[in-house]
Structure formats: C-alpha cells, structure tokens
Amino acid sequence: MLDSISSGHQAYSTLNFHQAFSLEITAGREVENGEGGSATVVDRITIRRETSFALTYSGVLPIEVDEEAGYRKLQDLVTNLLKEQGIATTVDTGDATVDLAALTPGTARELVAEDGYFGVEKTSDRIVEFAKTTAGGDPSRIDAIREGISRGFDEARKAFGGRLPDISRETYDAVMDKLDQWVSEAKAAA
C-alpha cells in the first residue's frame, strides 16, 4: 500500500511503501478432560508477511509541474512497484479489462464515478453478493458476515494510515444498509 509521497523544498522526494498480508486459520475441537467432561481446544495458525521500503529521489524538481506529467510519473512508479512484486496491473471490470499502466485520469474518474465500476453502488453490490454467497445465503449468519466485512475495512483503514477515502466509507455504509435490507426481506418472507 502506498503510504505517502512527500517532497522537501525541491531537494528530494520520498515514496514510502508498505504491504501486509495476513492469513489466519482457526479450528476448534472437543476433547475429553478425563473426568467425564469435555473441553474445547482451539488451534490457531497465523501467517503474516509485511514488506516496507522507502525510495528517495534527489535532484531539483520544478515548482510548476504539468499535472498530466506528474500523474504519469506516479502511475509509472506504482505500476512498476506492483509488477516487481508480481501483482497484476490489469483489472477486469466485467465489460472490459482496464490496464492500470495505461489508465488516464479521465478513465479513472469514470471508474470511481457514482455509476462507475468502482463506484459506491456497484462495489457495495459485489461485496454483498460475495458475502451472501460465502454465507450460503443464510441470513442467520449476519453477525459473522458483518464482522468479516468490518475487519476487512479496518485492515484497509490501517493500510491507508488510519483514514479511508470518502468513497470507501460510503461503500461500507452502503454494504451495511444492503445487508440490513437482506435480513429484513428474509424475515418478512419467513
């Protein structure tokens, strides 16, 4: 995750990069305690990998930077970092495949627009459908679904330095509203 980009009086620029991956597996089992009773034993395995580094570029940067040129430089840097780590730079939007290396500011704005593929409505729909499918369509598992989604957004918040962009917060709210609606519809149908 890109943590920050800073520059100091045209003397240098620094790019801080941090990526974290975590996988947790939990399994519980009942064991006899020798006194005719039983106890639950929980085994937990956590695998975590983090990568952090900072790149510092020295040299004089012009005060007036062409916005398009600055966007292209940042885009090239980010796509190269992703490629070096073996992370794909293409995104399938259902109708088309978008290559982040060739993404223009206009296309990026379209993708995150209200009706865009990464807009609040479509993204929240995908999250809710994934959650419902993962839960086997069982609304009684709503607490586990909410917990998992909240945990995912919390991890994203940490990766963004403690605060998510407005579009992410709006997406979270939309997801929770759609889950409420799903549970209400299931109760009404029962």
More confident position, 152 or 55: 152
More confident position, 44 or 122: 122
Q: Please compute the mean of the pLDDT values over residues 141-151 and round it to a whole number.
A: 94
Distance CA 101, CA 157 (A): 25
Confidence of residue 181 (pLDDT cuts 50, 70, 90): very high
Strands 38-58 and 12-32: antiparallel
- pLDDT at residue 12 greater than cutoff 70: no
Mean pLDDT computed over every residue of the chain: 80
Confidence of residue 173 (pLDDT cuts 50, 70, 90): very high
- pLDDT at residue 44 greater than cutoff 80: no
Confidence of residue 171 (pLDDT cuts 50, 70, 90): very high
More confident position, 136 or 76: 136
Instruction: Give the highest mean pLDDT range of 45-54, 62-71, 114-123.
Output: 114-123
Instruction: List the one residue out of 54, 48, 101 whose CA is nearest residue 76.
Output: 101
Distance CA 147, CA 143 (A): 6
Distance CA 122, CA 103 (A): 20
Spell out the domain ranges in the chain: 1-64, 119-190
* Helix residue ranges, H only, 51-165: 67-84, 105-112, 120-134, 142-159
Percent of the chain at pLDDT above 90?
30
Q: Please compute the mean of the pLDDT values over residues 123-149 and round it to a whole number.
A: 93
Q: Please compute the mean of the pLDDT values over residues 163-184 and round it to a whole number.
A: 95
Confidence of residue 9 (pLDDT cuts 50, 70, 90): very low
Asked if residue 18 lies in contact with residue 4, where contact means CB atoms within 8 angstroms, the answer is no
Long-range contacts of 66-70 (CB under 8 A, 24+ apart): 68/105
Q: Please compute the mean of the pLDDT values over residues 28-45 and round it to a whole number.
A: 75
Burial class for 124, CB neighbours closer than 10 Å (0-12, 13-18, 19+): buried
DSSP letters for 149-184: HHHHHHHHHHHTTT---HHHHHHHHHHHHHHHHHHH
Confidence of residue 93 (pLDDT cuts 50, 70, 90): confident
